[in-house]
Structure 1
Amino acid sequence: MQWTQRFARTAPGVIGAVGAALALLALLGGLVTANQQSTKITRHDTVLAHTEPLANAAQRLYVALSTADAAASTAYLSGGIESPEVRIRYENALTDAAAALAEATTGAADAETRTILGRISAELPSYTGYVEAARANNRQGLPVGSAYLRQASALMQGSILKDAGELEQIRLAQLHRDQGAITGLPWWSVGVLVLLLAACGYGSWILLRHTNRWINPGVVAAGGLAVLALLWIGATTAATTAAIDTGATARFEKLAQARILAQQARTEETLQLITRGDLTASEKRFADSTTELRADLARLMSTDSAAAKAFSGWQDGHQKEVAAYLSNNYRGAVDQSIKADGTGSAAQFTALDTALQTELERTRQEVRDDVNTAGNALALSPLGTLALLLAAAGAVVVGVWPRLKEFL
């Protein structure tokens, strides 16, 4: 023990300690940087295989449930036996909702998500039961059918869709967190590498005092390799940030919100005819949804896009529908609402929803492509930075060993 303490105070002891410390710090830096870059690649894989599909499933669930509610109202307005097209739209929406619900349930790992999905699963059969009761009474011409349909829509709008909206926000927040983990600067790696550079500078000063040589090539090479590792980390961070922060995810959210707003407005439009009462409150809710939707479309689409044209046609059709209703032409208002061709509200709304869905799917693919691009930028970084810092540790040993041999 005493011999070790005496040796540590000698020139070879100090030189050996400096070399060992720098080599160990370089090895530590290699392990830290490789681990953090590998973690980023893991998060990239998680986004593509788990987070993004679940976020998409959540928005699909919300839209499918809203579509089913709007289709159920349209079918009721048809009177008696609804057209096959309307019935198929309702059934397809329920099928899409079931598929999205199953996908979302498969990936539910946290208690909050499982609770939300449990409530939706429990309430959805009640909703379909009310719709079928409304349908059965409507076929017999019994006015009580409208009460069942209003109850079904109240359950959907007041509870099921609120849960679906909460689920969508949870999934989108997780997507943002995972994307942030991919683009974020790995501070531990940067900290260790900056510490290594500082240690190389201080170690060079110590070696100068004990060897009378201004430069130790091995230590200088180690510092240069640490700088290269820092530059590599900075370059991959810049590349991943440029790839992911293109606004595609925000556009995806806005398009999903626009489609949801359209579905809500369409449901309101049909329910006001089923209720057959004062339109003041209903028209305000319809106007609130469509005003927000118009603003979203102005930001997301060009004025001559298919979605913008369909939205304008739908609004014109709605005004005709309201005018017919207020002039006591109820049948004309219903015909305008459910007409599936020409300038009918149903036809224009379908065109709008189709345009939004097409753009949503295109934007979703753009989000996935951006994440893939970020993954390509990260591909070699764990092995690359590890190799640089292993080389730095080797350079320290090669540079210090000749100086140490001079005393041995």
Structure 2
Amino acid sequence: MRSRLPATMRNAAQWTRRFVRTAPGVIGAVGAALALLALIAGLVTENAQSAKITRHDTVLAHTEPLANASQRLYVALSTADAAASTAYLSGGVESHDVRTRYENALTDAAAALAEATTGASDTETRAILGRIAAELPSYTGDVEAARANNRQGLPVGSAYLRQASALMQGSILQDAKELQKIRVTQLHDDQDAITGLPWWSTGILVLLLAGCGYGSWILMRRTNRWVNAGVVTAAGLTLVALLWTVATTIAASAAIDTGATARFEKLAQARILAQQARNEETLQLVTRTDIEASNKRFLDDATLLRADLTGLVSTDSPAFTAYSSWQDGHTLEVAAYKSNDYSGAVTQSVKTDGKGSAAQFSALDTALKAELERTRQEVRDDVNTAGNALTLSPWGTLILLLAAAVAIVVGVWPRLKEFL
């Protein structure tokens, strides 16, 4: 038994080598290779197109909402800080509206933080969210201490408020800004995955087309027939699958306007700049020291904000009008402060009607929020349109390539039977 097995295997190997050199061996090998390649191409293409649809679903259900939640978190935290400063400037017991604005901002921040935490799988994001959640109670504690001392007329309240604002500006908001950067990057990555050409599936489809051409040439030499209908049909089906893949990619790319995503990102940045400037504006009155350095920071943020607004909205839009009025109000505030009219500067800063800085800033933030919501809907609509373009492509290309494999077998089998 031990001496026969190696001999049998050697005989089988020798027979196989002789067979593959014959016409039926070559024809069978060509048919099997092309059919196998068609099956592999079908599976690879179906998987690539399905991955695009999965990314589309991820953007709508996960990535885009988290990007929006991250900018809402920053704005809510910054609004709370500005409201706390405004409440302190009001002196004694702040008005109900000011207190409500502060509490609502904290509520919005908590909701945005909870939403931003959803699906936070990477270590960096979890660390950022953990720091924000840990530091926020310290911030609110300092604000309440400032409020309690302010009600009693104790100047130490300003120290508590400066400490709270330093924590917010120096740590919490920096983490919130970094979180937004991460979320927007993820949104860009998912959009690129939807619109990018699937190189693996495209490459294997091109390889299958080339294989059909080369296989036809081999079959022509072995069978003396110019055309093998099955292989030609498979080539045609492969070409349709390739064109379908490319066409859906082009349609998805056309649907997803990256300009809308860029506009969303710039609007979020503009809203953040506005919040930074407003915080600087209110805090400089709390400190009651030389405001030159603080005012320079305010003007730097305001200049950047104006540049962003110029590219985002028209000069006669509500946002730009409110921005201009806010800057005019700030000029009056600084002038009053420098002329030793502290109460006049405070009144100009906290006044919520007319040309008061608080009123004009609120109008600016409301206009920016409306633009953000409109642009956000554009982003979601674009992604949804891209998903519609991709809907049938996974199963459609798979069916085409399975049919191509069947066509190859049907076309080659009769030629193989002629030799058997």
- Measured against the shorter chain, the TM-score band is over 0.9
TM, length-normalised to structure 1: 0.98
Q: Distance in 1 between matches of 2:45 and 2:257?
A: 23
Name the stretch that deviates more: 394-403 or 232-241.
394-403
Q: Comparing 344-353 with 162-171, which one deviates more in the overlay?
A: 162-171
- Does residue 83 of structure 2 align to residue 81 of structure 1? no
Cα shift at 1:13 = 1.2
Letter in 2 for 1:16: G
Map 1:279-298 to 2 at 5 A: 279-298=291-310
Q: What's the counterpart of residue 312 of structure 2?
A: 300
Match of 1:359 among 359, 371, 378: 371
- Measure the CA separation in 2 of the matches of 1:264 and 1:115: 24
Residue of structure 2 equivalent to 1:60: 72
Aligned residue number for residue 143 of structure 1: 155
Cα distance in 2 between the residues matched to 1:396 and 1:114: 53
The one-letter amino acid of 1:352's match is L
Matches within 5 A, 1:176-255: 176-255=188-267
Residue 5 of structure 1 and its aligned partner are, at CA, apart by 2.5
Following superposition, the deviation at residue 99 of structure 1 comes to: 0.6
Answering whether residue 62 of structure 2 is matched by residue 50 of structure 1, we say yes
User: Could you tell me how far apart the structure 2 residues matched to 1:246 and 1:111 are?
Assistant: 28
Corresponding residue for residue 155 of structure 1: 167
* Amino acid of the structure 2 residue aligned with 1:403: R
Corresponding letter in the other structure for 1:215: V
Mind listing any 5+ residue stretches in structure 1 that lack a counterpart?
Answer: none
Provide the aligned C-alpha RMSD in A: 0.9
| Residues 107-128 of structure 1: CA deviation (Å, up to 9, x unaligned) | 2111111111111111100000
- The one-letter code matched in structure 2 to 1:319 is T
- Kindly state the Cα deviation for residue 6 of structure 1 after the two structures are TM-superposed: 2.1
Q: Who is 1:264 aligned against?
A: 276
Give how far 1:246 is off.
3.9
Q: Report the more deviating stretch, 299-308 or 215-224.
A: 215-224
Does the Cα contact within 8 Å between 2:34 and 2:208 map onto a contact in 1?
yes
Is the partner of 2:120 in helix, strand or coil?
Answer: coil
Identity across matched positions, percent: 81
| Alpha-carbon displacement from aligned partner over 1:66-112 (angstroms, at most 9, x marks no partner) | 11011111111111111111111110110011011111222211111
Give, as a single letter, the amino acid of the residue that structure 1 aligns with 2:256: I
Equivalent-residue separation in structure 2 for 1:353 and 1:245 (angstroms): 25
The structural deviation recorded for 1:176 is: 1.1
Residue by residue over 1:291-345, the C-alpha shift from the partner in whole angstroms, topping out at 9 and shown as x without a partner, is 0000000000011111000000000100111111111111111111111001110
CA distance in 2, matches of 1:376, 1:106: 27
Give the aligned length: 408
Write out aligned runs for 1:312-327 (5 A). 312-327=324-339
Secondary structure of the equivalent of 1:108?
Answer: coil
Deviations 1:16-45 (A, max 9, x none): 111111111111100000001011111111
Give CA deviations for 1:322-374 in whole Å, capped at 9, x if unaligned: 11111111111111111100111000000000000111111111111111111
Give the deviation of 1:188 after TM superposition: 0.5
Assess if the C-alpha contact under 8 Å between 2:257 and 2:379 holds in 1: no
CA contact (8 A) 2:87 2:95 kept: yes
Rounded to whole Å, the distance in 2 between the matches of 1:106 and 1:225 is 44
Match of 1:118 among 127, 130, 155: 130
Q: Is 1:336–2:348 an aligned residue pair?
A: yes
Match of 1:17 in 2: 29
Give per-residue Cα distances to partners, 1:369-402, cap 9 Å, x unaligned. Answer: 1111111011000001001111111111121122
Task: Please give the secondary structure, in 1, of the residue aligned with 2:92.
Answer: coil
Match of 1:104 in 2: 116
CA drift at 1:3:
2.7
Q: What displacement does 1:185 show?
A: 0.7
Q: TM-score, normalised by structure 2?
A: 0.96
1:383 aligns with 2:395: yes
Give distance in 2, aligned partners of 1:243 and 1:137. Answer: 57
The answer to whether the 8 A contact 2:318-2:367 is kept is yes
1:374 correspondence with 2:386: yes
| Residue type at the aligned position of 1:111 | T
